[in-house]
Homo-oligomer: A and B are copies of this chain.
Amino acid sequence: MPPIKVKSAEVATSPKRQHKADARVAAAPHAAAKPRAQTRIQREKQDVILEAALDVFSMHGFRGATIDQIAEVAGMSKPNLLYYFPRKEEIHRRLMSALLETWLAPLRAMNADGDPFPEIRSYIRRKLEMARDYPRESRLFANEMLQGAPRIIEMIEVDLKNLVDEKAKVLLGWMDQGKLARTDPYHLIFSIWATTQHYADFDVQVRAVLGPGRGGEGRFEDAARYLEGLFLHGLTPRGIGKGA
């Protein structure tokens, strides 16, 4: 844990009078002075900025994204943007921490008391919906991974790992009960992540390969149907008279 940058608003008594807003904007653990609630404008502008930043970071990664570009998409000047988020890293950090919560929710929802197939099927559906409805978030995450996850490695190693360990046990439990094929629970989870996120991260490719005919909105329905069949029975043909 290197003594990295200065955390915003960590010291109550700033020696120099900062006209920056970060002292009240950032979530301080226990600000000594008066935190002074956020104004309406602060909330709105921060949302606009984060929205724009999501666009840019998810396409170009952290280094490839520029503050100017984010500011332009957000419809404001660079110094104005920097008034709300004094550092580029800060914007990215906010996006990432918000993302991780949303991202893990579907796996968290997998219920040990349920039956494996409804649970897994529902998990796949949820992940697929997220790929459809939040493709930028998926790409933001993918971009971070491709770079070696420098800014979220800790959360991956702790929070994510713990969650997956827990759910792997659930899966193993189902396998012990003979309700689920005995296989590697970790790689099972990986395969669900991979197959669903693919439709967000490689969207261009999916569209291009499916062509104008089948590359429309229906592709997510098709994907859901296919994946259900794959995870349920694999590719082995089963008698005639297929069930609906």
Chain A interface residues (CB < 8 Å from chain B): 58-65, 116-117, 120, 139, 142-143, 145-149, 153, 156-157, 160-161, 164, 175, 177-184, 186-188, 190-191, 193-195, 197-199, 201-202, 204-206, 208-211, 214, 222-223, 225-227, 229-238, 241-244
Closest to A238 in B: B181
Assess whether B227 is in contact with A179, with CB atoms less than 8 Å apart. no
Measured between C-beta atoms, what is the minimum distance from A188 to chain B in Å? 7
What is the copy number of this chain in the assembly?
Answer: 2
Main secondary structure of the interface of A (DSSP, over half): helix
Assess whether A198 is in contact with B193, with CB atoms less than 8 Å apart. yes
CA distance A115 to B227 in the complex (A): 22
Assess whether B148 is in contact with A59, with CB atoms less than 8 Å apart. yes
CA distance A101 to B191 in the complex (A): 26
Closest to A164 in B: B209
Assess whether B229 is in contact with A183, with CB atoms less than 8 Å apart. yes
